[in-house]
Structure 1
Amino acid sequence: MADAQLTATGERAGWGRIALRVGVIYLVARVVTTAFLLLAAGMSGPGSRMGAGADLGDVVVAWDGTWYWFIAVTGYPAELPRTDDGLVAENAWAFMPLFPYLAQLVSLPFGSWAAGASIVSLLAGYAASVVLFHLLRTRLDDAAATWAIVFFACGPLAALFHVGYAETLNLVWLFCALWCVVRRRYAWLYALIPLMAFTRPGVLAFSLFLALYGMWRWFHRDREPLRTPEIAHIVVLGLLAAAAGFAWQVIAGIVTGEPSAYLATELAWRRNWIPGEATFAPFGGFLSGVSFWFGSMWGLPVELGYAVLVVVVVLVAAALLLVPQVKRLGVEIRLWSASYLVYLLLVFFPQSSIFRLLLPLSPLWGAFAVPRSPVWRLGVLAACLIGQWWWIYNMYALGNTAWQIP
């Protein structure tokens, strides 16, 4: 009894030390990012997205933050808006409900949705950092896991820890879900999967991940026994993730009376680049994107774009399979990364938002933290901060061209 109590006390103390260490790293990183955001807001001029005289509150509700605020205030339309051509126009159904309504609840004492949204993003980012440390610590030593959190907290997309976007809240659920798979604690996933599904699109990638993970476990059952209850959990959870991934489409169809409401809404954004595109097809977005960027925007042969796409896919696959630093992260993180990238290839139209959509691959920061050279780690940190400022400057100080959309 006494030994058990001492063990539990020691574990709680360990968790507390880690939470404090991560908290210090996260706080320093947030001070730096806040300075960058204030500088970008001050540089915003008449021709930028936010206009002259922008402040930090304008940054929080800029871009998709405006849509989340609009959902919190007005909800979702029962009738889809239409363009002059009769096509579905951009509307709130493209965004999941959990983040805007949670931000609205948190904002009640402050009287400002922007304040609530920023608080949710900041706290969720801290929680995601703590969980990511524990996830990576299952494979890496303490120093490497700590440096991975430094890179994560200071990374090029660090502005998302501050603004009214659902990304950091989704990362909490995702990192918890991956940690549960690593620890074989499947019961928690029955709650985490629906939370992911109604926070951000992408839970279908988690369904693919569970399918690949189940197959990997089956073929390696001689190394680790795969018992019947575990098989049942993996199969049922994979089906749950698939059903949850389509649930929002069903809800949008029922409310609006149009079964294709969600897909038509998503295509409304794509028509900003490719006018007239009105149908969805797997991989169609990426193929259309290659044609658009290489052909229409850059004046290069479209065939070159296809070749570049193939080379990138091959190189990424090789990295996930062969690079020792990536292999150190474990099969779960590698399979998740592959599943999510396949999902993006299937559904996404490549444009500047691709940087933001790569955030769920954040566990791969662990691979950058494995080399122990101080020069390497400080170099990666410097690159993170430079990339962070570049992204903030272009997306918030400027935001006035087709490739400056976060």
Structure 2
Amino acid sequence: MNKVFISKVACVTALGSGADRLWQELLAGKSGIRPLSRFSCDNYVSNLGAVIADLVAPADHSGHDDLLNRLADQIGPVPGASRLLVASTKGEIDRLESACRAGQKLPAAVLFAPLLDKIAKRFGLDDCGTNINAACASSTIALARGAALIAHGQADSVLVYAADLLSEFVFSGFSSLQALSPDPARPFDAGRQGLNLGEAGAALLLTNEAGAGDAPLARIAGWGAANDAHHVTAPARDGSGLILASTEALQRAGIDTSAVAAISAHGTGTPYNDAMELTAFATIFGDHLPPLHGIKGSIGHTLGAAGAIEAIIAGYSLAQQQIPGTVGCTTPEEAGQGQVSSSGREISGQYLLSTNSGFGGINGALVLQGVL
């Protein structure tokens, strides 16, 4: 099979634009979680979120337009024959919200069809694109799908574009589930209360070895996906789905657990998710659990964009041989003590496991390999 590389990347989060900037902000322990002013939070259990402060959304347009232009400018030219995979859970939800508030009617297709067309045209792609909606694991699954296309010779390059906006519609849903934290999220902390939503966008160009250029960020060595078929929103407490997805990714990469230098975890900050992850990792790695971290205490839970941004940071972690601290984790859960910390730490090795889990029982995992 062909080797798959992450050749070019771009991202925009609540901590600013560009992968270099995000990496530095994460190392510095910064957080973009703030009180929200985009809509009233009086009826919700939290008023916190991580928004892109200067995102422009003129009347009758979506904030995705501004986000798309920023990402396209950052990443630069991509091969026109690239396949396009988009990962978004709600697409142009802000346009739909605005129309509803104004008493207007818009076709359901407003969420995704125009967005796919805009992305393809902005990047000059022949492919009209496919949206992959796997809840919070969307972009991890999209990266896995893109890697599979290249590995099996069905594409030379794939553009994975991941983006979600922070909308009142989604915020109200998480609030009704009592999943939001009234305070800044504390992933893997013993006192965690829930998550903070965020918004972000990322673009990653995947290529085969011939198109990787002189300085790819990382290689996608393995990938896996599984569903625990347990509950519509809650994860299986035993982590069975995450165990299956991670094991598949490790097997596809051809490595055993001892080769994994670190874990980039989903780490939402909800009691059930974080406990499930720690249970799964203990099953997978036994007494040799590598250092792990999560970045949602810094940029919030960015839904469809989460896995893509975490894959970018995983590439930086392998290149720099360090992982950022988990912002908000001051008193680690017992099962994570000694492995997760609010402070960054050095790592040693070529491989990193990056995982995400979402509503509906979906779990995705990537094994990234350093190339420097």
TM-score of the pair, normalised by structure 2: 0.31
Decide which structure has greater strand share: 2
TM-score of the pair, normalised by structure 1: 0.29
Decide which structure has greater helix share: 1
